[in-house]
Structure 1
Amino acid sequence: MFNHKITVIQVLPALNSGGVEKGTLEIGRYLVKQGHESIVVSAAGRLVQSLIDEGSRHIEADIGAKKLSTLKYIPWFKQLMRDIRPDIVHVRSRLPAWVVYLAWKSLPENERPRLISTFHGQHSVNRYSAIMTKSERIITVSEMMRDYILRSYPDVDPEKISVVYRGVDMTLYNPDFFPNQNWQDHWIATYPQTRNKPLLTFAGRLSRRKGIEDFIQIIAELKQSGLPVHGLIVGETSPKKKEYRQELERLIHEKQLNNDITFTGHRSDLQNIIAISKAVFSLSKEPESFGRTVTESLSLGVPVVGYSHGGVKEQLERLFPEGKIEVGNVNEAAEVTRKILTGSSVQIRRNDIFTLENMCSETLKTYRELMADKRRVVLDR
């Protein structure tokens, strides 16, 4: 096994916001702290300065742009690999993966770095998406995603796949955390309707598949049973979702919940909001590849009520099985929430699985394993 300093290039479309981008920064920071060289290639974005401040190098290239001129980056990336001579190239998105793979394949085999891809979510199954399987090793964020890859691409060798769960920084997300008094005072001043009420939080961008209608129905059932709860829907409404937002507002009005549910829009202080909540909800109608908010909430000691499928199921099974709900069963979700609110014992297991340290160390372990493996796996289909 190699133990010397390694150089890693991570490649993704841009560095603005989102789970993929956050994971890229976290891996970069960890590599630097471990004495390795971290380089990221992207079209830049608001997170670039943070990346640089944490010791990584950024190379700007619009390598994920969906236009014909992006093909110019194939010879450019080939030369970049020759100049830098990285040990690992790690791709996290499909179009950059095509550019990188074609550049990588054009190098003589003895000049190629080791090539890794990460499946962050369920792409449509086609030749375009199949590029993510052409790397020498595949990292995936949950067992559900591993099954998805093997089911969708039966030619993939199961031995190529490493499950590396996403993780949170336990120095920040732990049961001892609680927002300071200034923040609490400002919250109440902004949302006085939430004062002295148990808060139930749904976090995520507004989307039909997220199960927001079910969340509204759960609030309605709890109100009917006499519990003075207040629901928070925390997430931005994209311009394309304005009509859907209006549908949700009409549903809230029909159920006479106008004073009981608040849309906060996008918030940069979600950690604080979760910490003051009595429960957090994950009700997606389709299985999520992971669901980072679930881990963050449980790590803070806040119960999660979630539909039992996908990566959310895997987290709840390990940390809070009482929160698992049959998909679409609003009555069961309301009953479990009622038990949480009325003081039934809530036993959330300590999170020693979905941690940032585990995620980063397992990723580095995967890099080293591939470097030690002399076999070259190249799929030409």
Structure 2
Amino acid sequence: MKVMQLLPELNSGGVERGTLEIARALVKAEHQSLVVSHGGRLVAQLEAEGSTHLTLPIHKKSLSSLWQIRPLRQLIEAHQPDIVHVRSRVPAWLTHFALRGIPKQRRPHLISTVHGFYSVNRYSAIMTQAEKVIAVSDSVVKYITDHYKNCPPQDIVRIYRGIDPQAFPHGYQPSAQWINHIYTLFPQLENKFLICLPGRITRLKGHETLIELMERLQTEYPNVHAVVVGGADPKKKAYLDELEATIQDRGLREKITFVGHTSEIREWLAFSDIVLSLSNQAETFGRTALEALSVGTPVIGWNRGGVAEILSHLYPQGLIEVDDREALFHAVEQHIKNLQPVAPVQQFSLDDMCNKTLDLYQSVVNRR
């Protein structure tokens, strides 16, 4: 097979990571892998792993992107992929118009992946207008069936995102050298019960809830410390300043540490005693929660979206009713008093995701 994946850019994020994972699986299975995007820092890795990158500015949510319809059509006609797989709305619209200019018998099969709970409108509906629509969780299947009645349920295929269990092995512990380095940078973490909130610094990730929780915990459990693992985009600096001012006002300066952007997420998840998932909106999957459970760290999170699906399968005692601050406090308290073991994760593997996606490609090609 020859498969062409389309996405806006190749810098960082879940969509980008998923694109590289499928590209790698295609190459490993001796298929041809093409990726079309505006480019980015992951292009070098993509090409080193055997895929071909085709640069096209299909990343802007503006009318000027319509100029890319003809170049995209020319790319598709030149490379003649069996499958075109769109992963984002602007590329999906451009592909929609590009394919209309190609005779039906020469058009590739069209597959989309719905990665997010997009705003419900005509613009987002394009993601459900493909031969097969991949949903990354049951929550996304429900979102599509609830809001896009024109998408036949039999055309929706749920394929969970996955992680490599060898990259996040059960019982993993950071090296003594890493731990000593962290204690040098952040001496306040030594001999503490660590609560980790991973994720970018945005209003969606529940930092205010963490601050409230820490304010309540500090009197009874002075040994508890929170680490916020994730950086702030320059555009979010005002929000970061706001959080730090709140922490200062509530006397929590010695109780909450921001470690900034890091590529060592596995180390931090394993180093922490518990991990929280407190997003203000449902997450479509919840990869970080899965990574934490995979290394054996308990996760406590709101009972919604993809995180709820992961916890219900792997660690149901970590599920808390949405926004129930009292239940959150008691669940954390229980873990401080009696840390519970997490069983080795047998589900949500990267191999499973890749195999199911490639099987779907093959079944669509075989139908012709």
TM-score higher than 0.5: yes
Alpha-carbon separation, structure 2, partners of 1:227 and 1:304: 21
| Alpha-carbon spacing, 1:14–1:258, altered in 2? closer, same or farther (3 Å) | same
The question of 1:192 aligning with 2:187 is answered yes
Do the aligned residues in 1 keep the contact of 2:23 with 2:51 (CA within 8 Å)?
yes
Question: Could you list the runs of 5+ residues in structure 1 that have no partner in the other structure?
Answer: 1-5, 375-381
Is residue 313 of structure 2 the alignment partner of residue 318 of structure 1?
yes
**Would you say 1:351 and 2:350 are equivalent positions?**
no
**Matches of 1:293 and 1:350, distance apart in 2:** 16
1:80 to 64, 75, 82: 75
* Alpha-carbon contact 1:318-1:349 (below 8 Å) kept: no
- Distance between the aligned counterparts of 2:302 and 2:228, measured in 1? 17
| Shift in alpha-carbon separation, 1:129–1:368, aligned structure 2, 3 A | same
Two-structure CA RMSD over aligned residues (Å)? 1.4
Contact 1:14 1:42 in 2 (8 A): yes
User: Which residue number corresponds to residue 17 of structure 1?
Assistant: 12
Percent identity for Structure 1 against Structure 2: 43
Equivalent of residue 296 in structure 1, options 254, 279, 291: 291
User: 1:69-111 CA deviation, whole Å, 9 max, x = no partner?
Assistant: 4223222222222221111110001111111111112211111
Contact 2:163–2:350 at 8 Å: present in 1 too? yes
TM-score by length of 2: 0.96
The answer as to 2:163 corresponding to 1:163 is no
Are 2:214 and 1:224 equivalent residues in the alignment? Answer: no
Q: CA deviation at 1:344?
A: 4.5
- 1:204 equivalenced with 2:199 (yes/no): yes
Contact 1:218/1:331, CA 8 A, preserved across alignment = no
Determine the C-alpha separation between the residues in 2 that align with 1:226 and 1:148: 41
Aligned residues: 368
Residues of 2 paired with 1:197 and 1:309: CA distance? 30
Opposite residue 66 of structure 1, the aligned amino acid is: K
**Matched residue, 2:60:** 65
Determine if the alignment matches structure 1 residue 108 to structure 2 residue 103. yes
**Aligned with residue 228 of structure 2, among 233, 246, 258:** 233
Q: Hey, what's the Cα distance between the residues in 1 that align with 2:198 and 2:340?
A: 24
Is 1:150 paired with 2:125?
no
Match for residue 50 of structure 1 among 45, 52, 58:
45
> d(CA) in 1 for partners of 2:91 and 2:37?
9
Aligned positions of 1:254-269 closer than 5 A: 254-269=249-264
Once residues 65 and 209 of structure 1 are traced to their aligned partners in structure 2, the CA distance between those partners, rounded to angstroms, is: 23
Matched AA of 1:330: R
Q: Distance in 2 between matches of 1:352 and 1:11?
A: 31
Which residue among 333, 336, 355 is the counterpart of 1:361?
Answer: 355
Of 245, 248, 253, which aligns to 2:243? 248
Once the two structures are TM-superposed, the CA of residue 227 in structure 1 deviates from its matched residue by 4.6
Partner of 2:117: 122
1:289-329 CA-partner distances (Å, limit 9, x unpaired)? 11110111011101101000011100000000000001111
Q: Deviations over 1:117-174 (max 9, x none)?
A: 1111011111111111111110111111111111111121001111111111111112
2:8, 2:58 within 8 Å by CA — same for their partners in 1? yes
- Partner-residue secondary structure (3-state), 2:122: coil
Residue in 1 aligned with 2:322? 327
User: SS of the counterpart of 1:123?
Assistant: coil
